[in-house]
């Protein structure tokens, strides 16, 4: 009987320990910031991300990984870094070093009829 009387206080303690539903709502809104991608390969997913408005700003490995995870596309960071290096070698994306590490953007150049004109 004593436990039932203490139930409201117990619920309050549990709610504080596990956080409120407001934190969960904030987490969901953060994932909506990332672009939506659906791809069968890591390289295609990265290119889709970098083609989006969000990807026009230089993005690091961690940010790209978070964007993939927000879309339920899971690749280890080692795979992602290898794919990014491969895309740089293929001139599909550009990379440069900043104070925070390497950042990536889609390579310049306008495409006409599926061919790169080389213009930036």
User: For the range 21-26, what are the long-range contacts, defined as Cβ-Cβ under 8 Å and sequence gap of 24 or more?
Assistant: none
**Residue 99's domain spans which residues?**
3-108
Question: What is the total count of domains within the chain?
Answer: 1
Tokens of 72: 């339920």
Asked if residue 120 belongs to a domain, the reply is: no
Predicted pLDDT of residue 29: 44
Asked if residue 113 belongs to a domain, the reply is: no
Predicted pLDDT of residue 26: 47
Q: Is the pLDDT score of 51 beyond 60?
A: yes
**Pairwise CA distance, residues 104 & 99, whole Å:** 14
**Pairwise CA distance, residues 103 & 64, whole Å:** 10
Please say whether the beta carbons of 46 and 64 come within 8 A: yes
Q: Could you read off the pLDDT of 56-106 as tens digits, one per residue? A: 999 999 999 999 999 999 999 999 999 999 999 999 999 999 998 999 999
CATH number at residue 102: 1.10.10.10
Asked if residue 116 belongs to a domain, the reply is: no
Please say whether the beta carbons of 84 and 46 come within 8 A: yes
């Amino acid at each position: 009987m004593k436990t039932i009387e203490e139930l409201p206080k117990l619920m309050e303690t549990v709610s504080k320990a596990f956080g409120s539903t407001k934190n969960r709502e904030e987490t969901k809104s953060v994932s909506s910031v990332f672009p939506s991608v659906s791809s069968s390969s890591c390289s295609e997913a990265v290119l889709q991300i970098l083609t989006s408005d969000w990807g026009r700003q230089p993005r690091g490995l961690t940010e790209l990984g978070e964007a993939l995870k927000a879309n339920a596309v899971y690749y280890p960071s080692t795979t992602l870094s290898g794919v990014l290096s491969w895309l740089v070698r293929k001139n599909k994306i550009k990379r440069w070093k900043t104070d925070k590490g390497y950042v990536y953007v889609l390579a310049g150049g306008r495409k006409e009829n599926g061919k790169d004109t080389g213009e930036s």
